[in-house]
Amino acid sequence: MLEAPIRAEFAEGAIILSGKVDLSLGRPLGTTAGKVIVDFKTGNFYSSHREDLRFYALLEAIRLGVPPRMVATYYLDRSEFSSEHITENVLESALFRVEDGVEKIVNILFKGTEPKMCSSEWCALCAHEDS
């Protein structure tokens, strides 16, 4: 399936986690993982690419009750393939990232916490970067 949307809702729709998978191959066989999720990228490798795929794997596990077998990024410019098998630890890592993001949003929206600028590998793209 190409450009397959995936989504999970919580708290009667008050919290929605969603994404769009570039390519989804296969399907689970009962409780056996069988699906492979592939994301296509141009340009350089960023660690966030792998984190995004882990997030998609988490959504699939929540939605279907079975995680995908594997996730992969294919870098079009370099014809390079980077894959990762999905394990309980991988899903736990994605869950911790989601929990951290939800906590930050709740603190900003409901507790008046000021958003914080932080450095990352994407800083060259940030319009607020200090020169």
Domain spans in the chain, listed from the N-terminal domain onward: 2-125
pLDDT of residue 117: 76
Mark 3-17 as b/e (b = at least 16 C-beta within 10 Å): eeebebeeeeeeeeb
Residue pLDDT, tens place only, 27-65 = 888 888 889 999 999 988 888 899 999 999 999 999 989
> What's the rounded mean pLDDT across residues 104-118?
87
What confidence tens digit (pLDDT) does each residue in 2-22 have?
898 999 998 898 889 999 999
Q: What is the mean pLDDT of residues 59-85?
A: 94
Is it the case that residue 124 has pLDDT exceeding 80?
no
